[in-house]
Amino acid sequence: MSDAAQGPARVPALAIEAVSHAFGARRALDGVSLTVPAGCFVALLGPNGAGKTTLFSLATRLYATREGRVRIFGHDLSRAPSAALAELGVVFQSRTLDLDLSVRQNLAYHGALHGMAGREVKARIAELLALVGLADRIDDKVRTLSGGQSRRVEIARALIHRPRLLLLDEATVGLDLPSRSAIVEIVRRLVAEEGLAVLWATHIFDEVRADDLIYVLDKGRIIAHGTAREVTGAHLRPAEERAPDGPTAALEAAFRAMTAARAEDAA
Ligand SMILES: Nc1ncnc2c1ncn2[C@@H]1O[C@H](COP(=O)(O)OP(=O)(O)OP(=O)(O)O)[C@@H](O)[C@H]1O
């Protein structure tokens, strides 16, 4: 029996197993394994150059997986790419909306690419724009939107075909605090209310909550995983863990300690 046939409760939304990737002699990912359970928010934390975007490029089949395996709701991305990709929505790090088209046109184009019928696309656009709080901007050109608003349109676009897994690569980078909070809030609501599974790549610690599952990626390797609370506890002495600045500062301190220890080992 294939993994996809075992029933939704047991099959993870995303299962990355022992994936490696090299650009020439540079090994960007080295035996990375990571699981996003169905209906869960998982954060992928890593500094610049850790390999987050490379991992996303493999999980979206932008790059072929040569070493290891990627499965989306049990569908092997190499062997059954259509079934796997039908379950997947992606918000890439760089902006990809057409600035001279309206919000509606950008979304409708994407719906057509997924083979959705016109009436279905129209209803889905209305539903999604209400969800991201942009119903009143439907006929405005994307050029007239703020950075945070365009990001929200990109989230709506990624969800147009009703995927059950959403990958976001540093979706809040370059945004001010209120815009960042609004986006994190929308994504967390989708997880809580719609049962969406999310892999949220970031290097911003205050976007992670103590109960979130996190994976810490550094120089192409997963160096810690568990809940943020567990990872913080495992890598900090108790006095630091009780830092007055709270869990964000504790997580950041734990992260610095882990990556610094690896840098010393490598020296
Ligand atoms: N197309 C490429 N050609 C050569 N090397 C690359 C390429 N893309 C990434 N790399 C290298 O692979 C490593 C991982 O890069 P990647 O972009 O995946 O990291 P990242 O965690 O997404 O970083 P950032 O947060 O800065 O986007 C880096 O050393 C980078 O220089």
Atom of ligand 1 nearest to the CA of 46: 21
170 and 257 part of one domain: yes
Residue positions counted in the chain: 267
Q: Locate 230 and state its tokens.
A: 């567990």
- pLDDT tens digits, one per residue of 117-132: 889 999 999 999 999 9
Rounded (5°) CA angle 137-141-146: 70
126 and 41 part of one domain: no
Residue 141 has what DSSP assignment? B
93 within a domain of the structure (yes/no) = no
95 within a domain of the structure (yes/no) = no
Query: Measured between alpha carbons, how far is 181 from 130 in angstroms, rounded to an integer?
Result: 18
- Last residue within a domain, chosen from 117, 141, 162: 162
- Which residue's CA is the closest to the ligand 1 atom numbered 11? 28
Atom of ligand 1 nearest to the CA of 169: 22
CATH of the domain at 212: 3.40.50.300
Residue 94 has what DSSP assignment? S
Phi, psi (rounded to 5 degrees) for 254: -65, -45
Please name the amino acid found at residue 114. H
Q: Give the pairing type, strands 213-218 and 41-45.
A: parallel
142 and 200 part of one domain: no
Query: Measured between alpha carbons, how far is 123 from 118 in angstroms, rounded to an integer?
Result: 9
Res 15 pLDDT > 70: yes
Query: Measured between alpha carbons, how far is 124 from 157 in angstroms, rounded to an integer?
Result: 10
78 and 153 part of one domain: no
Compute the distance from residue 33 Cα to the ligand 1 centre, in Å.
18
Q: What pLDDT score does 133 carry?
A: 94
Please name the amino acid found at residue 107. L
pLDDT exceeding 90 applies to what percent of the chain?
68
- Last residue within a domain, chosen from 143, 162, 181: 162
148 and 209 part of one domain: no
92 within a domain of the structure (yes/no) = no
Q: For residue 89, give the 3-state DSSP assignment.
A: strand
94 lines ligand 1 (CB under 6 A): no
Residue 75 banded pLDDT, cuts 50, 70, 90: very high
Phi, psi (rounded to 5 degrees) for 77: -65, -30
Compute the distance from residue 220 Cα to the ligand 1 centre, in Å.
9
54 lines ligand 1 (CB under 6 A): yes
Residue 263 banded pLDDT, cuts 50, 70, 90: low
Q: Give the pairing type, strands 75-76 and 67-72.
A: antiparallel
Question: 118-131 and 147-158 are packed helices; what angle lies between their axes, rounded to 10 degrees?
Answer: 140
**Residue predicted with more confidence, 5 or 207:** 207
- pLDDT tens digits, one per residue of 81-94: 999 999 999 999 88
76 and 190 part of one domain: yes
Count of domains forming the chain: 2
- Which residue's CA is the closest to the ligand 1 atom numbered 29? 49
Res 204 pLDDT > 90: no
Q: For residue 242, give the 3-state DSSP assignment.
A: coil
Query: Measured between alpha carbons, how far is 33 from 71 in angstroms, rounded to an integer?
Result: 11
Question: 103-113 and 118-131 are packed helices; what angle lies between their axes, rounded to 10 degrees?
Answer: 130
Query: Measured between alpha carbons, how far is 120 from 111 in angstroms, rounded to an integer?
Result: 9
pLDDT exceeding 70 applies to what percent of the chain?
88
198 and 232 part of one domain: yes
ipTM of this predicted complex? 0.94
Residue 13 banded pLDDT, cuts 50, 70, 90: very high
CA distances from 70 to 18, 28, 85, 118, 208 (A): 9, 16, 11, 32, 25
User: What domain range is 151 assigned to?
Assistant: 101-162
Compute the distance from residue 48 Cα to the ligand 1 centre, in Å.
8
Q: Locate 211 and state its tokens.
A: 């109960």
236 and 129 part of one domain: no
Residue 65 banded pLDDT, cuts 50, 70, 90: confident
62 lines ligand 1 (CB under 6 A): no
61 within a domain of the structure (yes/no) = yes
- pLDDT tens digits, one per residue of 162-179: 999 999 999 998 888 889
Residue 258 banded pLDDT, cuts 50, 70, 90: confident
48 lines ligand 1 (CB under 6 A): yes
173 and 262 part of one domain: yes
Q: How many CA atoms lie within 13 A of 14 on its CB side?
A: 34
Compute the distance from residue 50 Cα to the ligand 1 centre, in Å.
7
Q: What pLDDT score does 229 carry?
A: 87
Query: Measured between alpha carbons, how far is 135 from 57 in angstroms, rounded to an integer?
Result: 31
23 lines ligand 1 (CB under 6 A): yes
Res 201 pLDDT > 60: yes
